[in-house]
Amino acid sequence: MSIIIDKLNYIYSTGTAYEKHALKNINLVINDGEFIGLIGHTGSGKSTLTQHLNGLMKGTSGDIYYNGENIYDKNYNMKSLRNKVGLVFQYPEHQLFETTVFKDICFGPRNQGLDELQIELRAYEAMKMVGLDNDLLDASPFELSGGQKRRVAIAGVLAMKPEVLILDEPTAGLDPKGRDEILDQIAYLHKESNITVILVSHSMEDVARYVDRLIVMNKGEIAFNDTPQKVFANYKELEAIGLAAPQVTYVMNELKIRGIPVKTTPITVEEA
Ligand code: ADP
């Protein structure tokens, strides 16, 4: 699996008073098995970008290649792309609608035209990947806690066996414990399945501990695209573009944990 984004632009409501250039000349490569954090202030273009990756939105200009094939070619099979790139929206529990957890998770694979046995096997496997106990099979999704509902929604996408899993703000609205649990679970499923994961967040702290690469968006552009430690080294710029994280001590600690020499002068860090 590989995704290449080549000079992608997206403009909302072209020619109206609401015109908004939401993606500006985005160039990006996403490789198989990566765990990527896509971060940026609200309105920086994260959702717009992710919706391009599974073809829900089409660029105003530019191209996207999935496994070397241009998804904007007129013969490209968009339906297969939607199966390969699974998108878990913000507050995905709002899309749960079946009477039981199990039926909800089976919904996606059923739409892929699999037979009943395969559908159920996929659902069991997906439940395991997100850490949902089989006791919950017959529960109504509406009886569950916030974190559990979110796991059901993620399992529903995983059951479709995507090659890429995009999670848009998976921790939104969860308490700190729920947030840590869901992030740990996502890290676990990435490790176990080696699926490519793109974790979208407006919070540096949420993603920094987990991902291999951070893509930082600012006003529709890619501001940084590197390992977390290299991105952190630009903490002043990150602060300037409104990223909540730098709480400088936090960043410094991360650098220390990761064994990165801290070369800054203007900010003094108290030694423990
Ligand atoms: P993020 O996911 O980082 O919060 P979005 O991709 O949702 O950012 O938005 C990027 C920019 O596009 C923002 O300025 C936002 O206001 C604008 N935008 C998003 N959706 C629409 C829309 N339907 N019509 C016009 N502008 C939009």
In the block, residue with structure tokens 């609401």: 18
What does the block give as tokens for 77? 């099979």
Q: How far does the centroid of ligand 1 lie from the alpha carbon of residue 266, in Å? A: 35
Residues 195 and 264 reside in one and the same domain? no
Residues 31 and 93 reside in one and the same domain? yes
200 - beta bridge partners? 38, 168
Which residue puts its alpha carbon closest to atom 23 of ligand 1?
A: 12
Residues 40 and 121 reside in one and the same domain? yes
Please say if the pLDDT value at position 253 is more than 70: no
What does the block give as tokens for 56? 């829900």
* Angle at which helices 116-129 and 101-111 cross, to 10°: 120
| DSSP conformation class of 187 | H
What Å distances lie between residue 31 and 66, 147, 212, 217, CA to CA?
10, 29, 11, 19
Residue in 9, 4, 35, 63 with CA at minimum distance from that of residue 195: 35
Q: How far does the centroid of ligand 1 lie from the alpha carbon of residue 183, in Å? A: 25
| DSSP conformation class of 165 | E
Residues 18 and 93 reside in one and the same domain? yes
Total tally of structural domains belonging to the chain = 2
- Where residue 228 falls among pLDDT bands split at 50, 70, 90? confident
| DSSP conformation class of 125 | H
Measured distance CA(213)–CA(225) in Å, rounded: 7
Residues 156 and 257 reside in one and the same domain? no
Q: Write down the pLDDT at residue 208.
A: 80
Name the domain boundary from 226, 241, 256. 226
Q: What is the amino acid identity at position 44?
A: S
Which residue puts its alpha carbon closest to atom 15 of ligand 1?
A: 43
Q: How far does the centroid of ligand 1 lie from the alpha carbon of residue 169, in Å? A: 15
What's the N-to-C CA distance of the chain in angstroms? 44
3-state helix, strand, coil in the chain (%, to 5): 40, 25, 35
Name the residue of 44, 201, 217, 222 to mutate for ligand 1: max ligand atoms within 8 A of Cβ.
Answer: 44
What Å distances lie between residue 112 and 9, 38, 159, 231, CA to CA?
31, 29, 10, 40
- Where residue 260 falls among pLDDT bands split at 50, 70, 90? low
Name the domain boundary from 206, 226, 246. 226
Phi-psi category of 37—alpha, beta or left, where left has phi over 0 and alpha has psi -120 to 50? Answer: beta
Residues 164 and 256 reside in one and the same domain? no
What does the block give as tokens for 272? 């423990």
Which residues form the domain of 266?
229-272
Q: How far does the centroid of ligand 1 lie from the alpha carbon of residue 252, in Å? A: 32
What mean pLDDT is reported for the chain?
89
Q: Where are the beta strands (DSSP E) in 184-263?
A: 196-201, 213-218, 221-226
Measured distance CA(243)–CA(44) in Å, rounded: 11
Least confident among 71-80, 184-193, 227-236, 257-266? 257-266
Residues lining ligand 1, CB < 6 A? Answer: 12-13, 18, 20, 22, 40, 42-48
Q: How far does the centroid of ligand 1 lie from the alpha carbon of residue 120, in Å? A: 37
* Complex prediction ipTM: 0.99
47 contacts 200 by C-beta, under 8 angstroms: yes
Please say if the pLDDT value at position 268 is more than 50: no
Residues 33 and 91 reside in one and the same domain? yes
| DSSP conformation class of 136 | G
